[in-house]
Amino acid sequence: METNIQNLGECSFVSPLTHSSFEVTFRSDSERVLFDHLRNEGSPATSGAQNNSEIGFELAGPRENLFFDPSKTTAAVVTCGGLCPGLNDIVRGIVTQCHTRYGVTRTFGFRYGYEGMISRYGLTPMTLRPESVSQIHNFGGSILGTSRGQQDIGEMVDLLEEMDVDILFVVGGDGTLRGASALSAECKSRGLRKAVVGIPKTIDNDIMYLDKSFGFETAFAMAVQAVRSAYVEATGAINGIGLLKLMGRDSGFIACYAALAGSNVDFVLIPEVHFELEGSGGLIEALHYRVAKRRSAVVVVSEGAGQHLVPHSSATDASGNKVYGDIGLFLRDKITQSFRQRRIASSVKYIDPSYMIRSVPANAQDNVYCSQLAQHAVHAAMAGKTGMLVGRWHGAFVHLPLDMVTNGRRKVDPQGELWNSVLESTGQPARLY
């Protein structure tokens, strides 16, 4: 696991933060945050364990010397992929930090994701200033707009050259960050001294080596409201079933947390845990049993769960993600049918709140978290870091190589504490097959 961060070159400019009215604690690249902070006193330290414990991530924070000369630097930001609470906070944080702390006064926002970086599409970049972004955190979405999908790396770098952009901040998920990595590589191969810094965005909270992704807390708080609606609908009808589909293509974090917070959920179905519909151990049987006992049930399903059950095409969306079959509608129909077949009066209420969840403004906690991410991204970029992203690990802000992070996804561990808590809280069988 390579955790070292790529640097554009020697840092020969003194940071304007050294002239702050208050004492700034500068960080050096040799400061690391341990990857593993658990120890077992009983077991003898094997050399492997020792090595593992020594792997660490570069600590984020202001550097005393900068690679870029602030007075001559141009920065730009682009937001890609699906909406997520906090995008505007990130944009605002970057612009404010650039202007007020570093004196970088040329900051642009590319429109509608990577599309806005292809000049022949004619999407004029926005000029961003602290005044124009000062209240945008009160609104959901992204003032820049977003889009899915890759664009030609060469054309994008052409535009960066043409506009003289030195630093590009890229906010997006997996695919977007792979694009950022390619942009960084292309700049390098052209001999351009440009920094590409990522800020990982995933409403599913499924990015590796991150305590949590921005917007996740806001999102799951909204999801809890949807759980509440499902519960009210379920208990309001004879043998009522509230069925709720939540985000989570590959990871069921939102479904798990929403179930834990609301505590009125009977079944949680996530991509990480296999289940079957039919058969004596399957979901349908378990659901009938539960409804017979309690007269109602609430089922929460991640969009990526049970994909082997759903007929699906081989298509991919603009981001290159496989288009999933709709497990929510599928379950709705199957459950309805099963009650009908057994001639049991029932009523299935299906809720798909995804757009209402991802479009809300960030809550207070995410307001703060997003500003901190943005601040650290700017610190890193000014020091000439590139091909990397900022994250938080065990409570500390760190720098991570882009490639390390996009190589896998964080998942709910079916043997871990979180899933145990969910099983406990729902009382659902550990095996639904």
Site residues for a copy of itself, 242-301, by CB under 8 A, read 257-258, 260-263
Beta strands in 254-334 (DSSP E): 267-269, 296-302
Q: Is 155 in the site for a copy of itself (CB under 8 A)?
A: no
Q: Is 142 in the site for a copy of itself (CB under 8 A)?
A: yes
State which of positions 184-213 bind a copy of itself (CB under 8 A). 211
Q: How far apart are the first and last CA of the chain?
A: 37
State which of positions 370-429 bind a copy of itself (CB under 8 A). 371-372, 375, 394-396, 415-417, 419-421, 423-425, 427, 429
Q: Position of tokens 């004029």? A: 124
State which of positions 98-137 bind a copy of itself (CB under 8 A). 100-101, 112, 115, 123, 134, 137
Q: Is 230 in the site for a copy of itself (CB under 8 A)?
A: yes
Q: Among residues 111 and 194, whose Cβ is nearest to a copy of itself?
A: 111
Contact region with a copy of itself (CB under 8 A), list: 23-31, 194-202, 245-253, 332-340? 23-31
Determine which one of 89, 174, 204, 266 is catalytic.
204
Q: In degrees, to the nearest 5, what angle opens at C-alpha 341 toward C-alphas 336 and 342? A: 105
> In this structure, what token pair is assigned to residue 354?
């995804």
In Å, how far are 136, 297, 383, 400 from 102, measured between CA atoms?
21, 55, 11, 23
Q: Among residues 22 and 189, whose Cβ is nearest to a copy of itself?
A: 22
Q: Which of 150, 235, 307, 336 binds a copy of itself (CB under 8 A)?
A: 235
Q: Are 119 and 162 in contact (CB under 8 A)?
A: yes
Strand bridging mode 385-386 / 6-7: antiparallel
- Residue from 132, 22, 418, 398 nearest 254 by CA: 418
Question: Is 204 considered catalytic here?
Answer: yes
Q: Which of 189, 280, 341, 355 binds a copy of itself (CB under 8 A)?
A: 355
Q: Is 30 in the site for a copy of itself (CB under 8 A)?
A: yes
Q: Which amino acid is at 215?
A: G
- Residue from 189, 241, 202 nearest 386 by CA: 189
Q: How many residues does the chain have?
A: 433
Q: Is 1 in the site for a copy of itself (CB under 8 A)?
A: no
Give the contact letters, 306-345, x = binds to a copy of itself (CB under 8 A), - = no. ----------------------------------------
The catalytic residue positions are 204
